[in-house]
Amino acid sequence: MKKMYRALRYHDRLVVSRIIYFFLTFGYGAIFLWSFFKNYDGYRNLGMPESIENFEGTGTVLDYVYIGFRQQHNQWLAEMADRYLNSMYRFCAFFLAGVPVLLFTFVSWSSVLFTDRQQGWNRVLKAAPVTPKDRAKSLFIAKWRTIGICTAISMAIGFLCSRLTIGADFAERVFFGSIITVLIVVTVTTVWDILGAVLGALFPSARLNLTIGIICCLTMMTLAIPFFLFWESAAWMQYTSNYIFGPGWLILIAVFAGTQVLAWLVLKRACACKE
Amino acid sequence: MSEYTDAVRFEGVSRSKKGCLYDVGFSVPKGTVMLLVGENGAGKTTLLNVLAGQYGADQGTVYLFDRPQSDDDPAERARMSVVFDTIPYGQSLNARQVGKVFAGLYPQWDDEAYNRYLDIFGIGEKQVIKTYSRGMMQKLQIACALSHNAELLVLDEPTANLDPGSREIILQCLMEYMKDGERSILVSTNMPGELDRYADGATMIHKGRVVFSGEIDTILNSYGIVKCGPDEVSGIDRPDIVGIRHSRYSAEVMVKDRERVAAKCPGMAIDPATLDDILVFTGAYGEEAAR
pLDDT tens-digit series, residues A198-233: 766 666 555 555 566 566 666 655 555 555 544 443
Answer yes or no: do B241 and B256 share one domain: yes
The DSSP symbol for B275 reads H
Query: What is the band of B171 on the pLDDT scale with cuts at 50, 70, 90?
Result: very high
Mean pLDDT over B14-21 rounds to 86
The reply to whether B1 falls in a domain is no
Q: What is the rounded distance in angstroms from the CA atom of residue A33 to the CA atom of residue A68?
A: 29
Answer yes or no: do B29 and B85 share one domain: yes
CA angle B189, B192, B194 (to 5 degrees): 105
Strand partners, B63: B9, B68
Mean pLDDT is lowest, of A146-155, B68-77, B86-95, for A146-155
What residues contact residue B256 under an 8 Å CB cut-off, 6+ apart? B222, B223, B239, B240, B241, B242
Which tens digits make up the pLDDT trace of B277-288? 999 998 887 766
B224 CB neighbour count, 10 Å cutoff: 25
Interface with chain A: mutation pick from B45, B105, B148, B149, highest number of A CBs within 10 Å: B105
Which tens digits make up the pLDDT trace of A177-202? 667 666 776 777 677 667 766 766 66
A132 near B CB under 8 A: yes
pLDDT at B271: 92
B218, B252, B281 - which closes a domain:
B218
On the 0-12 / 13-18 / 19+ scale of CB atoms within 10 A, B260 is middle
Mean pLDDT over B63-89 rounds to 91
Which tens digits make up the pLDDT trace of B232-264? 888 888 888 999 998 888 899 999 999 999 888
pLDDT at A102: 56
**What share of chain B in percent tops pLDDT 70?**
98
Cβ-based contacts of B105 with chain A (< 8 Å):
124-125, 128-130
Please give the full DSSP string across A55-103, using - where no structure is assigned. Answer: ----SSHHHHHHHHHHTSS-HHHHHHHHHHHHHHHHHHHHHHHHHHHHH
The reply to whether B77 falls in a domain is yes
pLDDT at B144: 96
Give the range of the structural domain holding residue B239, as residue numbers without chain letter: 223-290
Q: Which residue of A has its CA nearest to B18?
A: A275
**Side chain identity at B276, as an amino acid letter?**
D
Answer yes or no: do B28 and B42 share one domain: yes
CB distance B71 to B50 below 8 Å: no
Task: Name which of A129, A130, A275 is nearest B54 (Cβ-Cβ).
Answer: A275
If one compares A188 and A14, the residue with the highest pLDDT of the two is: A188
Contact B88 A120 (CB under 8 A): yes
Mean pLDDT, chain B, integer: 91
A141 near B CB under 8 A: no
Judged by phi (left if over 0) then psi (alpha if -120 to 50, else beta), residue A74 lies in beta
Contact B71 A132 (CB under 8 A): yes
On the 0-12 / 13-18 / 19+ scale of CB atoms within 10 A, A182 is buried
Answer yes or no: do B95 and B191 share one domain: yes
ipTM comes to: 0.84
Q: Which residue of A has its CA nearest to B154?
A: A127
pLDDT at A274: 75
B218, B240, B268 - which closes a domain:
B218
The reply to whether B251 falls in a domain is yes
pLDDT at A231: 47
Answer yes or no: do B200 and B236 share one domain: no
If one compares B19 and B119, the residue with the highest pLDDT of the two is: B119
Residue B57 confidence (pLDDT) above 50: yes
**CA distance to A159, A253, B188, per residue, from A63 (Å):** 18, 38, 72
The DSSP symbol for A246 reads S
CB distance B152 to B81 below 8 Å: yes
Answer yes or no: do B133 and B275 share one domain: no
The reply to whether B169 falls in a domain is yes
Query: What is the band of A46 on the pLDDT scale with cuts at 50, 70, 90?
Result: very low
Q: Work out how many domains chain B is built from and give that number.
A: 2
How far does A259 lie from chain B, in Å, by closest CA? 27
Mean pLDDT over A41-47 rounds to 42
Answer yes or no: do B114 and B152 share one domain: yes
Three-class SS state of B98: helix
Closest CA to A92 of A49, A57, A61, A71: A61
Answer yes or no: do B37 and B156 share one domain: yes
Rounded to the nearest 10°, the torsion over CA A236, A240, A241, A244 is 150
Here the CATH number for the domain that contains residue B213 is: 3.40.50.300
Q: What is the rounded distance in angstroms from the CA atom of residue A239 to the CA atom of residue B290?
A: 81
Closest CA to B121 of B165, B90, B91: B165
Cβ-based contacts of B76 with chain A (< 8 Å):
129
Helices (H) and strands (E) in chain A, counts: 9, 0
What residues contact residue A68 under an 8 Å CB cut-off, 6+ apart? none
Task: Name which of A123, A130, A132 is nearest B54 (Cβ-Cβ).
Answer: A123
How far does A161 lie from chain B, in Å, by closest CA? 31
Answer yes or no: do B36 and B178 share one domain: yes
Q: What is the rounded distance in angstroms from the CA atom of residue A128 to the CA atom of residue B54?
A: 11
Residue B220 confidence (pLDDT) above 90: yes
Residue B32 confidence (pLDDT) above 80: yes
Judged by phi (left if over 0) then psi (alpha if -120 to 50, else beta), residue B41 lies in left
CB distance B96 to B115 below 8 Å: no
Mean pLDDT over A36-45 rounds to 46
pLDDT at B222: 94
Task: Name which of B55, B74, B89 is nearest A124 (Cβ-Cβ).
Answer: B89
Answer yes or no: do B184 and B111 share one domain: yes
pLDDT at B267: 82
Residue B223 confidence (pLDDT) above 90: yes
Q: At A237, which helix (H) or strand (E)?
A: helix A236-239
Answer yes or no: do B195 and B116 share one domain: yes
A205 near B CB under 8 A: no
Answer yes or no: do B172 and B237 share one domain: no
B202, B218, B234 - which closes a domain:
B218
A110 near B CB under 8 A: no
Residue B105 confidence (pLDDT) above 60: yes
